Amino acid sequence: MGGYMLKIRIAILSCVMTASAFGQAKVGSAGARSLAISPSVEAFGMGGVSVMRWSGNWSSYFNPATLAFADFQYFSLSAFPGGMDLIDGDPGLAQRSLAVSVNWKSFLNLPPKYTGGVSYIRNAFATGPIEETSYEQGTEDGSGTAFRANSAAHTLSLALGYSSNVKFGLGISYTHYTEDYSDYGSYGNMLNFGVIGKMPILLGGSASDSGSGRLRADLSLGAEIGNIGPQMKFLEKAYPLPHAARFGAGFDLRYKWLTVFPAFEWEDQYANNQSYMHSGAEVGLFEFAALRIGYISAPTVTGDVTTYGLSLSSLPVTRHLVGVKPANDEGFFIYLLRNMNLKFSYAHGESDGGYYQDGADYYALEISL
């Protein structure tokens, strides 16, 4: 009965991963479903928009080129804690992720206009207990035996950028993917390639100056080709990776203490003959708070998804308390208050039917210096 049991297990996990991707990973001809599920809470709050974003520790998961222009000086560490059920009920699904990024310009003697970064992201999923099922009768076999399905993607990214009036970055990432169902498992290796660029449309202050009294507008573009690699093998059966391509565009508008970033992203999962549209907007206030709203045009299996979210950062508050410019005799604690940032992010999404009509919540904590 082992072969029949394996078919049931794969079918159950495929349904779970399909729902958890909010329609981004419909059951099709390719495997490794969870690769399509982003660990970025910030991106999800904007409807999954990610390939042209210039901030956030998770952005390199879908576009490694975003690391070229890090919004931190030395390093950033982010945690997506466990225990959040992306699917209510049985068997349930939990996501646990971790990201570490380093701005290598601060450690290497690069020419002034060149920037770059490196990051590691672990994006893991685990189901709740799944009862053994009789394939022939379509019922539980009564043995009381249960198993869990697990998958994990380990992604190492590298990026290099050129920063002038126009910014341009290139990135590459390597992912090692594993999955197991009870006593069975498989693994695969793949590459992602990304590009990102930003050009001014309306000049008014620098691209990073949110305090300027003049309006500035920049066009941001990003693209990625992902999950390129050999087929994975599960027992005797080989199956392709979920190859995908993404292209996105956004407008970064800045005026005094206000920033507005409307964006859209087109995603083509050509391995499954499916395409999706992501759209969203972010409004930033004093660099302290960011409010987001988004929409995912998804297949009918989950229905279209509406999302919203927010982030709160500590750095504007601590710099207001201790001052922006360092003193000659300041201690290490004051240095940390002036330069270390703690960011809390939250996102919520729900569909108009299907698995997510009751909604799902995401949380993440990031520390950077």
Q: Which two tokens stand for residue 156?
A: 């190492």
Rounded to the nearest 10 degrees, what angle do helices 315-322 and 332-339 cross at? Answer: 130
Is residue 323 pLDDT above 90, yes or no? no
Q: Which two tokens stand for residue 196?
A: 């990102």
Q: pLDDT per residue over 282-306, tens digit each? A: 999 988 999 999 998 876 555 688 9
Residue 333's pLDDT is what? 81
Domain boundaries, the chain: 2-129+147-368
| Superfamily for the 2-129+147-368 domain | monomeric porin ompg (2.40.160.40)
Residue 39's pLDDT is what? 82
Helix ranges, the chain (H): 2-20, 41-45, 315-322, 332-339
How far is Cα 302 from Cα 16, in angstroms, rounded to an integer?
A: 12
How far is Cα 126 from Cα 92, in angstroms, rounded to an integer?
A: 8
Is residue 18 pLDDT above 70, yes or no? no
The upper half-sphere exposure of residue 293, i.e. CA atoms within 13 Å in the direction of its Cβ, equals 2
Q: Which two tokens stand for residue 114?
A: 């060149």
Residue 19's pLDDT is what? 37
How far is Cα 295 from Cα 277, in angstroms, rounded to an integer?
A: 8
Strand, helix or coil for residue 229: coil
Q: pLDDT per residue over 87-105, tens digit each? A: 444 456 677 888 888 887 7
